[in-house]
Structure 1
Amino acid sequence: MTGFDLGIFDQAIRSYAHFELPRSPIKNVHHEFPPGFSLLGDHFSPVLALLAPLYWVWDDPRMLIIAQAGLFALGVPVVRSIARHCFADATPSVARRAADGAGLVYALGWPLLNASYTGFHEVAFAVPLTLLMLERGLARRYGLAALWAALLCMVKEDMGLVAGLFGLVLAIRAHRSDHRTGRTVGIAVMAAGPLISAVVITWFLPAMGSPAGYYWSYDRLGAGPGDALRHILTEPWVVLQVAFTPAIKLAMLAWLLGTLALLPLGSLTMLLAAPLLAERILSDNPNHWPVINHYDAFLWPILITASLETLVRLHRSRPARRGARGGRLSMRWAVVAVTLSSAAAVFLGLGILAYPDSWRPSADKRALAEAAERIPDGATVEADNVIAPRLTSRADVVIVDGIPRGADWVLMREKERAFPFAAVAEQRDRISLLLAHGYQDVWRRDGAVLLHRVRPVPVPGMSRPGPGSSPVREQVPSDVGRNLFQR
């Protein structure tokens, strides 16, 4: 649980709770956004305002962890309902086993595990809303399906593309079943979803202060969307070149689909994953390629639903040889998918819960927590990324980064590399610089160092973003994007 992203969202939801636009000093200062910049200019996630009342009960970032766990848990009965819709024609015992198995695979899913490990993110809403949209579509409750699709568009600016493809799938299936209402609703959602995304990206985000091209991570395709489109139209093979190099991108796709025994590929619902996957495999940003961040949780409802739809097709099939029943084939695939998915969850962290040491923080993190208690309420603080959320509810906090900010207190480590520093030597140099320019070492233990500013001596390189500040992008360390499982 770190300043990026738990601390950022904690500061934003606290702003909502005070009936203000969502703002985060952690985000703004580190990326050099002007003072007062709203996170609605960073990503379109107005749905997060629904969490504001929770902060009237308990003003603490742990409330977001609880809320995310609850939102993920809401998906269990919805997944069970999806399974029952898919296996509606099967015997009651088969339908029950399908619902039980689907609920278990979803709840123990490695994408949800990773998302929880990294703290909090708007994916907390994307997961249940996507499931509710898919479930109502299968139930042919088209009005409610469209409602959930509309709410999904409020989670992030790109989710309108997912909603649009849901509308396409809904229209195709309604046409095959001769459901005129479903076809009409599907076509409407298919048009509205991408339109919402287009309006948000081209008008709303810039109106909220989003800098042009700040999140463009597709320079191998072109310098901007227009240039990329021309490049693709004139040299379409460039898409394959970018999508499959470096090889970690192929490994990511293999992991995503392989851990469910390739079952998602047998369903039309898999189309909904296309924009989310394209954003990652075409990206130049190495952070998008591994499978240890929250990005895969956006895909998890789609992958689970598509797998169930493929399983029911296998269940209904009747292979010719020896009159084997389709149910046996679907059972074999289901067992393989459950086994692979469970093994992936254990490998990516579920297994460590069985070890007592995994429940205890390391010595340096315990020292950071103890040092944080020594910082008075209302102080300005530059804090190590891992300890920042412990201070955001009672202090003016930014993370300590490559630029001194002149805070009253600085809490950092000198023995373990901390984000966003590239090496421990940089952290030690920072401590030496501050001690030589007005700061005093007031507490030190197990690599954690707490400094207090006792003289207003100018620190070389010190700055804080002003009204005319130009945002800067995160510098990705050279070792990111080489290992599929590197945190």
Structure 2
Amino acid sequence: MPSAQTTTPRAPVARPPAGRPAALLAWGWAAALFLLYATVAVRRHQLLRTTGYDLGIFEQAVRAYAHFQAPVVPLRGENFNLLGDHFHPLIAVLAPLYRIWPSPLCLLLAQSAMLAVAVVPLARWAVRALGRRAAHVVAFGYGASWGIASAAAFDFHEVALAVPLLAFALEALGRERWRHAVAWAAPMLLVKEDLGFTLAAVGAYIAWKGPRRLGIVTAAAGLAGSAIAIKLLLPAFNPGGGYAHGANLAEAHGSLLATVAFAPLDALRPDIKAMTLVLVFAPSALIALRSPLSLIAVPTLAWRMLSENGFHWGTAFHYSAVLMPVVLAGLIDALTRYRTSGHPLAARHVRASLATVIAVTVVMLPSFPLAQLAQRATWHTTAHLEAARSLLRRIPDGVTVAASNRLAPQLTSRCEVVIFPTWPVEGRLYEYGRKRLPRPTAEWIIHDRRAPEAWPYKAGHWPYPPEQQLAELDAAKRSYGYEVVAERDGITLLRRS
């Protein structure tokens, strides 16, 4: 008779609820988050806080796709094909929607929907693995995370397409559905050129935890896809014949060997980089670092921290959106592993961890864009806004307009827009000081000398300094043949006579 063996009691594992309640929970969160993100995005546009760089740029590209044309974007330059800037042909899937509703709001709402839908696989996975209460915490942690909030509140960007794709892929990895994970992650090759490296990280994880051959093939496809996009496709479409963002990853120390040797230190200097690395994993209370899934964030973090572009180092803009599904997936995976470990304190540890996630998320909320909804200025229409809307309405449809950065997306759906003071030109030359320059041919100019409120950089003036803009505005009136149609509250509307 076999001897009796003592066994360590296992912590109770939550039973997965029925499929329909789990789906209702996940999609209910998606609907709520969509309304939240859409409110922020639409209100920003109404307050003239969206910009030509980047909402206007992407609208011109999608508008071209909607009319079966190449994505030539006047805001980026004459005959500039946007596929020569970043390789993102997948944004063409928005063309049918834009054809039905030609408005910048179409792109903003589509982005809000994509960011919101990414909560579905994460919440669904959390329900199965940890229970309903934990799923609500995960959904809240993702939906209110600063990386998603920053993306939802800054124009439109192609990475919004990658967020749900990666979220569904991560759920499949967590449930060991390897082929499903590859199927969800593979389209990221068409979202942005660097996401091939993220696909390679997915492949490496599969090779480590699952079918080795499938993982190796996936990793190779990701690396090859990024290499082809960067070395061949982007230079082919770019008017300059090169990779527009290659200088961001230049050999900072004079040689490739020295650059690689200093990479670990460069990834942490200046201090803002180390702070960002901590904040990336903060929505999971740093628990995601205990999951191997967090390694999938390494490619994105690596190129950002090693970039020469200071905008890549911080927490503003859209650069961290694709990292948030990885962080929350790592949280689910780490807590699931602990809960099923048989440790007598597992259930208590999971509850404490989820409470910490809620606390961290709530503490960080006021510092990031979702807090704008609680600000009085967000719901107040100023005299300046009324003046801008009044003057914008005086510009007829179908004309060419040189506009200030934050006025440009108010016109891109109905006019051909360039950023003032870069405008279409004709062959004849005019005298400007001692220079002979091409004569501008934009039919209208609308310029706002005031920068927008509550913005991390002066988007109303960028990419040209205020002094240059004012000088060009004066030259337009004195030398270029433009007459002032109206001028109100710092906004000037001119028409070519």
Residue aligning to 2:366: 346
* Residue-by-residue CA offset, 1:158-211 (whole Å, 9 max, x unaligned): 11110111111122122xxxxxxx333222212211111112211222222363
Instruction: After TM superposition, give the deviation of residue 221 of structure 1 in Å.
Output: 2.9
CA distance in 2, matches of 1:4, 1:134: 31
- Within the candidate set 430, 433, 443, 1:408 is matched to 443
CA contact (8 A) 1:401 1:421 kept: no
The 2-side partners of 1:430 and 1:351 are apart by 37
Give the unaligned 5+ runs of structure 1: 30-34, 88-93, 175-181, 455-487
The aligned counterpart of 1:377 is 397
Q: Residue 13 of structure 1: CA displacement?
A: 0.6
Q: Distance in 1 between matches of 2:178 and 2:284?
A: 28
Distance 1:109 1:247 in 2: 22
Q: How does 1:86-125 map to 2 (within 5 A)?
A: 87=129, 94-125=130-161
Specify whether residues 239 and 361 from structure 1 end up closer, same or farther in structure 2 by C-alpha distance, changes over 3 A only: farther
In the alignment, structure 1 residue 83 sits paired with structure 2 residue 107: no
Q: Partner of 2:190: helix, strand, or coil?
A: coil
Using the aligned pairs only, state the percent identity.
Answer: 35
1:455-485 C-alpha deviation (Å, 9 max, x unpaired): xxxxxxxxxxxxxxxxxxxxxxxxxxxxxxx
The alpha-carbon deviation at position 142 of structure 1 amounts to 2.5
CA contact (8 A) 2:234 2:242 kept: no
Match of 1:464 in 2: none
Residue pair 2:399, 2:443 contacting (<8 A) in 1 also: yes
Determine helix, strand or coil for the equivalent of 1:212: coil
Tell me the residue number matched to 1:56. 99
CA shift in 2, pair 1:203/1:312, >3 Å: same
Q: AA paired with 1:25?
A: P
Q: How far apart in 1 are the matches of 2:376 and 2:138?
A: 30
Residue in structure 2 matched with residue 194 of structure 1 by the alignment:
223
Instruction: Specify the alignment match of 1:90 in structure 2.
Output: none
Aligned residue runs from structure 1 range 205-354, under 5 A: 205-209=234-238, 211-216=241-246, 217-219=248-250, 221=252, 227-228=255-256, 230-232=257-259, 236=261, 238-317=262-341, 325-354=345-374
Q: CA–CA distance in 1 between the matches of 2:336 and 2:270?
A: 36
Distance 1:350 1:442, change over 3 A: same
The 8 Å contact of residues 79 and 103 in structure 1, kept in 2 or not, is answered as yes
TM-score of the pair, normalised by structure 2: 0.80
Distance 1:156 1:21, change over 3 A: same
How big is the shift at 1:246? Answer: 1.5
Q: 1:355 & 1:285 partners in 2: Cα distance?
A: 31
Name the amino acid aligned to 1:408.
E
Aligned twin of 2:488? 445
Q: Note the C-alpha offset of 1:17.
A: 0.8
Structure-2 change in CA distance of 1:41 and 1:425 (3 Å): closer
1:158 matched to 2:194:
yes
Q: Which residue of 1 aligns with 2:469?
A: 427
Partner residue of 1:148? 184
**Quick one: distance in 2 between partners of 1:172 and 1:353?**
44
Specify the SS of the correspondent of 1:284. coil
Instruction: Kindly indicate whether residue 203 of structure 2 is the aligned counterpart of residue 173 of structure 1.
Output: no
Give distance in 1, aligned partners of 2:489 and 2:417.
23
User: 4+ runs of 1 displaced by more than 6 Å?
Assistant: none
* CA distance in 2: counterparts of 1:19 and 1:291, whole angstroms: 36
2:138 alignment partner AA: A
Q: Distance in 1 between matches of 2:71 and 2:217?
A: 31
Q: Is the 8 A contact 2:65 2:92 kept in 1?
A: yes
| 1:261-285 CA-partner distances (Å, limit 9, x unpaired) | 2122111111111111111111111
Q: CA deviation at 1:436?
A: 1.1
Alignment-derived partner of residue 474 in structure 1: none
For the Cα contact (< 8 Å) 1:3–1:387, is it kept in 2? yes
Tell me how far apart the structure 1 counterparts of residues 450 and 188 of structure 2 sit (CA, whole Å). 43
Cα 1:345–1:220 shift into 2, 3 Å: farther
Q: Structure 1, residues 403-423: CA drift from partner, whole Å, max 9, x if none?
A: 796211111122435232565
Contact between 2:402 and 2:422, CA under 8 Å: does it hold in 1?
no
Q: Which residue of 2 aligns with 1:389?
A: 409
Residue in structure 1 matching 2:110, options 67, 75, 80: 67
SS in 2 for 1:398: strand
CA contact (8 A) 2:115 2:152 kept: no
Structure 2 residue 162 is the aligned partner of structure 1 residue 138: no
Kept in 2: contact 1:421–1:427 (CA 8 A): no
Structure 2 residue runs of 5 or longer lacking an equivalent are 1-49, 426-439, 452-457
Residue 85 (structure 2) pairs with residue 42 (structure 1): yes
Question: Which range moves more in the overlay, 72-81 or 397-406?
Answer: 397-406
**One-letter amino acid matched to 1:276:** T
DSSP 3-state at the match of 1:153: helix
TM-score scaled to structure 1, two decimals? Answer: 0.82
Output the CA distance in 2 between the equivalents of 1:401 and 1:274.
40
**Amino acid across the alignment from 2:91:** L
Residues matched between the structures, number: 423
CA distance in 2, matches of 1:421, 1:325: 56
- Aligned-pair CA distance for 1:133: 1.1
